[in-house]
Amino acid sequence: MDSNVNRKHKDSVFSALFSTPEILRELYSAIEGIDVPGEAIVNINTLSDVLYMCQINDISFTIDDRIVVLIEHQSTINNNVPVRLLMYIAHVYEKILDRDKLYRKKPIKIPIPEFFILYNGIEPYPDHAELKLSTAFEGIEDLRLYQDGLPLELIVHVYNINQGRNSEILKKCKTLESYSIFINKIRELNQSLPLDESVKAAVKYCVENDILKQFLRNHGSEVINMLTDDITIDELGIIRYEEGLEDGIERGLEEGIQKGREEAFKEDRNYFLELLDQGLSVDEIRQSLSCTQTASS
């Protein structure tokens, strides 16, 4: 594995862990409940230069050029993921297909797309759920098209990878199970220790108990930096303030501002950890907010 783990705009512990064909083959086999043969060719094609809402996809890869898999890791479920992945898969096809063949009479064959979210947030969530693009279509119930079938659909399968959930998947993918244990240990320690100490203690615990041992030995300091970036509760309050304003628009500006103010100064340790868990830096969070404001203006 490349020693420069935190080398891209949105690298995280998760995307750094699942960055080799061997591990991705194991991960896909566990999710689908099949055995992908060792000779199956896995090509990673994650687009680090394609941004949508100031974020990039976590993992994208093909298997034998027959299946293209997009995987997101989330600690807070974003119901707009199907729309974002629709736009992202178009960029992936643009990258892997020969454009010239698109204008020939003979039909071309393209890899079948599959979309997954691996969820490990603190909010209750079922073992498995589906997010559908069709839920974003406006006024679809009023169209005859709705009865005849949709011309476009995209289904994202969400799997809960927290400890005690989807045990069969975790057992079949040692790296995923170890990652789940690692994050759970941080949360457990964070009940009595500051976040930075919790992460360091969790790293020490995992190394001593042969959990992600080699990865943490090689990249321990980078992992700690990813998970304990210099984000303060006050800076998180700004994020909650912006979210409060957005959520309050439909209920009235005054109520939205009040909600934003309340959230801005609320010490929310769990939300803090969720953001750090994704490896976001202060600049990245500010950039995301800036892009969201620009898009909505």
Which pTM was predicted?
0.72
Q: Are residues 28 and 149 in the same domain?
A: yes
Please check whether residue 180 lies inside any domain of the structure: no
- What's the CA gap between 86 and 90, in Å, rounded? 7
Q: Residue 235, CB half-sphere, CA atoms under 13 Å: how many?
A: 15
Among residues 94, 36, 31, 96, the alpha carbon closest in space to that of 61 is found at 96
Is residue 216 scored above 60 in pLDDT?
yes
- What's the CA gap between 23 and 13, in Å, rounded? 14
Please check whether residue 207 lies inside any domain of the structure: no
Q: Are residues 169 and 241 in the same domain?
A: no
Check residues 226 and 71 and name the one with the higher pLDDT: 71
Q: Are residues 161 and 244 in the same domain?
A: no
Render pLDDT for 10-49 as a digit per residue (tens, 0 to 9).
Answer: 347 888 889 899 999 999 999 999 999 989 999 998 776 5
Please check whether residue 206 lies inside any domain of the structure: no
Q: Report the pLDDT averaged over residues 245-252.
A: 59
- Give the pLDDT score at 112: 94
- Choosing from 129, 147, 173, the residue where a domain stops is 173
Structure tokens at 89: 């898969």
Please check whether residue 7 lies inside any domain of the structure: no
Q: Are residues 163 and 239 in the same domain?
A: no
Check residues 296 and 29 and name the one with the higher pLDDT: 29
Please check whether residue 198 lies inside any domain of the structure: no
Please check whether residue 117 lies inside any domain of the structure: yes
Q: Are residues 238 and 128 in the same domain?
A: no
Q: Are residues 134 and 253 in the same domain?
A: no
Q: Are residues 263 and 139 in the same domain?
A: no
- Give the pLDDT score at 142: 66
State the residue for tokens 């995987």. 71
Please check whether residue 166 lies inside any domain of the structure: yes
* Dihedral class, residue 29 (left if φ above 0, else alpha if ψ from -120 to 50, else beta): alpha
- Choosing from 158, 173, 188, the residue where a domain stops is 173
Phi, psi of 79 (to 5 degrees): -75, -5
Q: Are residues 93 and 168 in the same domain?
A: yes
* Minimum mean pLDDT range among 114-118, 124-128, 163-167, 189-193: 189-193
- Give the pLDDT score at 53: 39
Sheet order of strands, 128-132 included? 42-44, 59-63, 67-74, 112-119, 155-160, 128-132
Tell me the residue range of the domain where 110 lies.
13-173
Domain count, the chain: 2
- Choosing from 146, 173, 200, the residue where a domain stops is 173
Is residue 265 scored above 50 in pLDDT?
no
Those residues whose C-beta lies under 8 Å from the C-beta of residue 36, and which sit 6 or more positions away, are: 25, 28, 29, 63
Is residue 255 scored above 70 in pLDDT?
no
- Give the pLDDT score at 232: 37
Check residues 212 and 146 and name the one with the higher pLDDT: 212
Q: Are residues 106 and 246 in the same domain?
A: no
Render pLDDT for 52-105 as a digit per residue (tens, 0 to 9).
Answer: 434 456 889 999 989 999 998 888 888 899 999 999 999 899 888 888 888 888
Please check whether residue 28 lies inside any domain of the structure: yes
Render pLDDT for 144-203 as a digit per residue (tens, 0 to 9).
Answer: 656 667 788 999 999 999 999 999 999 999 999 999 999 999 889 988 988 888 889 999
Q: Are residues 149 and 53 in the same domain?
A: yes
Between β-strands 155-160 and 112-119, what pairing exists: parallel, antiparallel or unpaired?
parallel
Check residues 7 and 64 and name the one with the higher pLDDT: 64
- Give the pLDDT score at 52: 40
Output 191-200 pairs: Cβ under 8 A, ≥24 positions apart.
Answer: 195/227, 195/228, 195/269, 195/272, 195/273, 195/276, 196/224, 196/228, 199/223, 199/224, 199/227, 199/228, 200/224
When the pLDDT of each residue in the chain is averaged and rounded to a whole number, the result is 77
Q: Are residues 22 and 133 in the same domain?
A: yes
Q: Are residues 145 and 255 in the same domain?
A: no
